Structure 1
Amino acid sequence: MNISISVKKLFVLILVFGIITSCTTKKDIVYFQNAKSFESLVDTNTFNARLKTGDILNIFISTLDLTVAKPYNLVEYSSGSQNEGAALDYLIDPDGNIDYPVLGKVKLVGLTIEEAKEVFKKKFEEGKLLKNPVVIIRIKNYKISVLGQVRNPGVYPISGERVTILEAISSAGDLTITGRRDNILVIRDFNGTKTYTRIDITNKELFNSPVYFLTQNDVVYVQPNTKGISAGSGDARIGLVASLLGLAITIGLLIQN
């Protein structure tokens, strides 16, 4: 038996095995794999964003007589500007308060937007300052960071008060073929305490995750898959064609020898 030929065959077999096992499979990249056809999932998630220290709020108070509400709607003017000023924003300080005109310190940290509105209404009515006020509150610094193996990593501002992790990933152009779908990390900070939660978007249980809805300033990190697709590949078809071509060549070499 020719030992050199046997060694060559062994090398080719190892190469074939490596190519086959390095290919990304359907199981690695398909979302919600265990969702059944015509299956219904009742949404019981009552998520509402809660205010955090460092949040920047835009607050507008309205009544039937706007002149009465004017002291509560301060504006700021840019230097030398003759135009109407912009509404003043309010920062939640490390103690969880904002300093609001006439009312003074108002504690808002940990409250939902609706709860914060009720706090203002109660203060106006108990102090007999305003009758039937309408309170509008917006979080101005609601943004999400998406990092790692996505097509367009970056910081994305959120216009509403709720955003899902799927919407955040979609904003970033979806995961690349090298992105690991079963171990996505969500980093959340609430008043100095960081939590780390890992989720699997190939599993429908994602919808029951406490981080399915993201909060302001959450960070989503997609780590790379350790399987052997070139780091620069952005298209699964390119990786698949390359793998099949390599497989065909090695099998041909094996047959010839």
Structure 2
Amino acid sequence: MKFRSLTWAGLFLLLTALFSSCSTPLKNITYLYNLGKADSTLQTVSPDVYTIHPNDNLYISIISDNPDAASFLNLSQPDRNYTSESSLELITYIVDDHGNIVLPYLGKQHVGGKTTNQVRDELQEQIDNIMENASVFVKLVNRTITILGEVNRPGQYRVNKNSMTIFEALGTAGDLSDFGNRKDVRVIRGEGGERKVATLNLTNSNITHSKYFYILPNDIIYVQPKNRIYGAKTLPFATLFTAISTAVLLYTSFRP
């Protein structure tokens, strides 16, 4: 009886140690953990405005009360019913390596490093010298981000908002997987002809002070895996089988 009691006590301690080692501290899996439970106000930086880069696709249309009069300024006859992104991609200007595009009649235009609003205003000034009652419409077509690593639905996603936070971006990919490291999320962004990498800690509310809190078109988000896998949900079956086998062996060995 004494051996049996010791065996069950040993089994209990073994399983307790096994599963307790697989528990995850709440601070490692809770977004903005240090924000506290009380109602709080998050201070965020202003989102950066995307500037045009080489290989960007720009849809530019000159719209006039008389479409025929403005046709020589467009790649094709402007259509007010264009609504889909696929339609826009058929009549876009691709920015070359020097940041230039070539427009009908207006010729070469330098757009690299400028916002779409700046390009629109500069073109509008030129158009006003040519014809009256005409408006310029400029749109960035390739508004996509790429999300990779430990998320539930990795892939490339289209950005349909002027500003998107890192949380919203990860939400489009189905949130982090069970293996995703919330303290190590990388954002890769093209700036000044270079690729810069920022590391974000999603559990720290100070993330809202980073300019990378807001995601820009063409950003790449990579979620690093955890160094260790935690949780009963991800407990390796081999480890569980070993524990059970050991318990059975102890029981049969010391059974009176």
- For the aligned pair, the TM-score class normalised by the smaller chain equals 0.7 to 0.9
Change (3 A) 1:97 1:89: same
Deviations 1:168-196 (A, max 9, x none): 10111000121000110011124641101
Residue among 78, 91, 102 paired with 2:105: 102
Secondary structure in structure 2 of the residue aligned to 1:189: strand
Q: CA RMSD in A?
A: 3.4
Measure the CA separation in 2 of the matches of 1:133 and 1:46. Answer: 31
Measure the CA separation in 2 of the matches of 1:63 and 1:237. Answer: 65
Question: Do residues 26 (structure 1) and 21 (structure 2) align?
Answer: no
What does residue 130 of structure 1 align with?
A: 131
Letter in 2 for 1:30: T
State the shift of 1:22 in Å: 3.6
Contact 2:99–2:111 (8 Å) recurs in 1:
yes
Contact 1:24–1:227 (8 Å) recurs in 2:
no
Change (3 A) 1:42 1:186: closer
State the shift of 1:205 in Å: 1.6
State the shift of 1:121 in Å: 1.2
Note the 1:115-194 alignment, pairs <5 A: 115-125=118-128, 128-190=129-191, 192-194=193-195
* TM-score for the superposition, normalised by structure 2: 0.76
In the alignment, structure 2 segments of 5+ residues that lack a partner are: 1-8, 78-86
Identity %: 28
State the shift of 1:56 in Å: 0.5
Contact 1:184–1:199 (8 Å) recurs in 2:
yes
Measure the CA separation in 1 of the matches of 2:234 and 2:201. Answer: 23
Measure the CA separation in 1 of the matches of 2:119 and 2:31. Answer: 37
Measure the CA separation in 1 of the matches of 2:45 and 2:185. Answer: 23
Letter in 1 for 2:203: T
Change (3 A) 1:12 1:193: farther
Number of aligned residues: 228
Secondary structure in structure 1 of the residue aligned to 2:180: coil
State the shift of 1:160 in Å: 3.5
State the shift of 1:97 in Å: 0.6
Change (3 A) 1:190 1:91: farther
What does residue 218 of structure 1 align with?
A: 219
State the shift of 1:206 in Å: 1.6
What does residue 71 of structure 1 align with?
A: 72
Secondary structure in structure 2 of the residue aligned to 1:102: coil
Measure the CA separation in 1 of the matches of 2:179 and 2:106. Answer: 53
Measure the CA separation in 2 of the matches of 1:12 and 1:46. Answer: 54
Contact 2:47–2:163 (8 Å) recurs in 1:
no
Change (3 A) 1:10 1:110: farther
Question: Do residues 238 (structure 1) and 233 (structure 2) align?
Answer: yes
Contact 2:146–2:156 (8 Å) recurs in 1:
yes
Measure the CA separation in 2 of the matches of 1:179 and 1:107. Answer: 42
What does residue 5 of structure 2 align with?
A: none
Change (3 A) 1:25 1:42: closer
Contact 2:45–2:208 (8 Å) recurs in 1:
no
